[in-house]
Amino acid sequence: MRVAAALVLVPLALGAAYAGGMFWTALVTVVAVGLYLEWLMVVGEVRTVSVGTAGALAIAIAGICCAFGLIDVAMVVLALGLVAVTALAAGRRAWVAAGFVYACAAELASVLVRFDTTEGWRALVLVFLVVWASDIGGYVAGRSIGGPKLAPRVSPNKTWAGAIGGFAASLAAAAGWSLAGAGGLVALLAMAAVLSVVSQLGDLGESAVKRRFGVKDSSHIIPGHGGLLDRLDGYVAAIVFAAFVGLLRGGLDGVGRGLLVW
């Protein structure tokens, strides 16, 4: 089931990313809404309908704004949405706000990286490759080698061997992408190294939240993988970090270029 789901989801993600524009923004917006609603389920606030509705509506409207290039308007909408969900939350307001910010960050970062018309596609694929390679390499190395646990209190199944295996696999993926013409080898290897660590930390962070609330899977929407939070925790951390670096170096219109060109 894990392989079958991946065979469907990977081409969907790559196809939408390649198309860019409204196609990519639409996919990102739907996923961001899903991330937010799953977060509410994990922290036990999904029953407060007004909180879920207000947050999902704000994320959807922001996505429409992003599709038309109105990034500044989208940020205003999301800021108002944060105020609304925090005010409407019946309890655990800090957790509700954190989940909304998490979903919004995933949405905006994904859009901003692809927003760069010159290098956005290559930069986005780099993030994909690093995250996927980290997951696959970590799974293979962890299951085949085993050994000491990485963070047993947070995620009892993760090992140091898996973390190192995922790190090595991400470097190999970045090297391959560099050979395909995506950018300089040294720059991509350095970026992949950082993104792999960030991705794995994002995975551990989501596991810590689930353990805090006694939840095993955020949902069962993806066969063999669990929920969107379970599958995209590493991606969200990596894409937010990538967008931050790219924005600092390349500005709003050159996030992808800022990430790849050093």
The token pair that represents 48 in the structure block: 């407060």
pLDDT in tens, 124-180: 999 999 999 999 999 899 888 878 888 888 888 889 999 999 999 999 999 999 999
The token pair that represents 119 in the structure block: 């290098």
- CB atoms under 10 Å from CB of 124, counted, come to 25
pLDDT in tens, 35-59: 999 999 999 888 889 999 999 999 9
pLDDT in tens, 64-111: 999 999 999 999 999 999 999 999 998 889 999 999 999 999 999 999
Q: Where are the domains of the chain?
A: 2-260
Alpha helices per DSSP H over the chain: 2-19, 21-43, 49-67, 71-88, 93-115, 120-145, 160-179, 185-212, 228-250, 255-260
